[in-house]
Amino acid sequence: MAKSNSFSCNACGASFNKWSGRCDACGAWNTIVEEAPLSAGPASKSLGARRGAPIRLTDLATEEAPPPRTNSGISELDRVLGGGLVPSSAILVGGDPGIGKSTLLLQAAARFAQAGLKTIYVSGEEASAQVRMRAQRLGLADAPVQLAAATNLRDILTTLEAEKPQLAVIDSIQTMWADNVESAPGSVSQVRAAAHELTTFAKTRNMSVILVGHVTKDGQIAGPRVVEHMVDTVLYFEGERGHQFRILRAVKNRFGPADEIGVFEMTGAGLAEVVNPSALFLSERGQPSPGSVVFAGVEGTRPLLVEFQALVAPSPHSQPRRSVVGWDGGRLAMILAVLEARCGIPFTGLDVYLNVAGGMKVTEPAADLAVAAALLSAREDAALPAETVIFGEISLSGALRPVSQTENRLKEAQKLGFTAAIAPSGGKPGADSGMTLTRMGDLTAFVGEVFGAG
């Protein structure tokens, strides 16, 4: 009986029974390649038990204490990890090329090594001499980190078995290749096989492993999505080349809160952590101007103040432009529709530009009211008071819904010198923050109170 072949897309990981020039799942061209099954080739003796061996069961009620976390000393990184590095954990770090992933992980590896963990940094993209040059530039030449430059997965696992480190950094997973998988390095089969072997090795050898992953043009980690399901924690390193800020965001974490962020600043001596990101994001804010609104948000467990900037101008085209940076474009269209349908404020024939200052990306719905205020301020050419923060979610009916952690948002705003806030009614009153809090029931009342129109 002939062996059935399997094909998969390098861009999205979709599987097909036969080859075609275009992927039906993501629409990419020339990305479908033949995929060998994981069972092809000799089985690795370094992983798992022999076939048919019984599995030992243990009770959940045990007197053994949970393994302690190891702090790196980089508080922003420890915050995103949920309080430090958990033993036997697998972490996947993704980001754009040149964003600073290797720099951050080399700094983290040096800190973990100085904290007492035996650490190995394996580079598949650079030679050992190049990694040492970067370490010297970062002032880490004396760090007790072992370096290796290899791409053969069998050689790497053999070295890890002999050295028995407590932490291994693999840079990057797309450069690793297993000799028992018949496909090119970086393909779906190779990435999946390498991630599975390294994750299983880490779990069975009481070793933590950090995998570096490249991202596609859509910002997703390249390769099959099953890699994100294998690991315990998925971190994205975000930032724009025009800004010096870098944001490390947790999108999955089995040992801590998801959507937690850590803020770093790119300097000549590497990445420096930012202790008070709210002050940094608002540091370049000048005098009050139309379209500028400060939003009191929450990222994970951290309250964060950012500035929304809007520009509304007459459009010379038949179809006005809607340009968004740092926020969801679909949600902007919803806010514009609610303003027109519920408040009678049209944006027909007007170009709308919306930007989150500092390169920050905001995802929570609590920014709806701040966006609406920025749009109305830009349209009416009326600046809002400089000492006021705004937050709240807008429903399709025009009602304002309360948001969580109101007290933390107000405390963060007061700490930075703000004296007034506008928020939805119906939320928890919280403790007295010392700020003038104005509560609104719906969007029409907000427009009438702030801009004098209903």
Q: Give the residue among 223, 264, 232, 245 at the shortest CA–CA distance from 79.
A: 264
How far, in Å, CA of 256 to CA of 337, rounded?
Answer: 37
219 is in an annotated binding site: no
221 is in an annotated binding site: no
How far, in Å, CA of 225 to CA of 344, rounded?
Answer: 44
102 is in an annotated binding site: yes
Q: Please enumerate, as own/partner, the contacts of 200-206 that have beta carbons within 8 Å and a separation of 24 or more.
A: 200/47, 200/48, 201/46, 201/47, 201/157, 201/160, 202/88, 202/89, 202/90, 202/168, 203/88, 203/90, 204/47, 204/48, 205/160, 205/161, 205/164, 206/87, 206/88, 206/166
Task: Please list, in sequence order, all residues whose beta carbon lies within 8 angstroms of the beta carbon of residue 81, skipping any fewer than 6 positions away.
Answer: 69, 91, 233, 250, 253, 255, 256
Q: What is the DSSP letter of 402?
A: P
Contact 377, 383 (CB under 8 A): yes
96 is in an annotated binding site: yes
101 is in an annotated binding site: yes
Alpha helices in 241-400 (DSSP H): 277-281, 329-343, 368-380
68 is in an annotated binding site: no
179 is in an annotated binding site: no
359 is in an annotated binding site: no
Say how far residue 245 (Cα) sits from the centre of its chain.
Answer: 14
Contact 255, 232 (CB under 8 A): yes
Residues in the chain: 454
Residue 141 exposure: Cα atoms within 13 Å on the Cβ side:
6
Residue stretches of the annotated binding site: 95-102
- Residues annotated in the binding site for ATP, as ranges? 95-102
